[in-house]
Amino acid sequence: MKEGPDIALIASLIGDPARANMLTAMMDGKAYTATELAAEAGITQQTASTHLKKLETGGLILQRKQGRHRYFALSDDQVGNLLESMMGLAAARGHVRTRTGPKDPALRRARVCYDHMAGELAVSLLDSLIGRDLIVSEGEDLSLTDSGGAYFSRFGIDLDSLNTSRRPVCKSCLDWSMRRSHLAGGLGKAVLDHTYAAGWARRVDGTRIVEFTRTGETAFRKAFDLI
């Protein structure tokens, strides 16, 4: 007797190359038109619309209407975390693209993973927070300590709002390029938002790259006590 959730359905939705490319594009947290996603997947708009309907029915994406236009985005951070974890598994098993592009080093350095930061700097951030007992790690489970709460409050992060949200405050997300965990959840988003607001970094248009200025990276490292 078969029991439990149907992972085969989710796997089949993600497993199609065109749908996988469209889902990867949406990992930057933005909403895209069917035309834009068709270009990402290298298919016609009519074919893209069929794929998007399947993804929407499967609960992986949401459709947003604005006037006469329709936009598509990942349904939530859980889908983004799943995709990032799958990228990590693919990299660990040697399933990588044969050609790397000029953006790859920057993506590995710092990038958007749905609504939080991933990459080398993000992994170093979580290491520092755990090392200073601001976050406690028990396997894949993360929790913010009292001293951690006081620490982040000094940055103006509204912890009361994070604590009352249905979303986890702290969550571990496997980083595909580093093959180790970075910080996700409400706190991960808040840290990335603070990084933008402080002027330390910006999103590079049309990419998932988070580009730090020289002084911004220095300030980021000093604020979070990174080596």
The residue with tokens 């080596």 is: 227
- The pTM of the full predicted model, rounded to 2 decimals, is 0.77
* DSSP code, position 133: T
Residue range 122-180, pLDDT digits in tens: 999 999 999 999 999 987 789 999 999 999 999 889 999 998 888 899 999 888 888 88
Q: Which amino acid is at 187?
A: L
Reported as a single tens digit per residue, the pLDDT across 52-85 is 999 999 999 999 988 888 999 999 988 988 998 8
Q: What is the DSSP secondary-structure string of 24-91?
A: HHGGGS--B-HHHHHHHHTS-HHHHHHHHHHHHHTTSEEEEEETTEEEEEES-HHHHHHHHHHHHHHH
**For the chain, which domains are there?**
7-75 (1.10.10.10), 100-223 (no CATH)
Question: For residue 81, what are its two tokens?
Answer: 């975390």
Beta strands in 163-220 (DSSP E): 171-174, 181-184, 201-203, 210-212
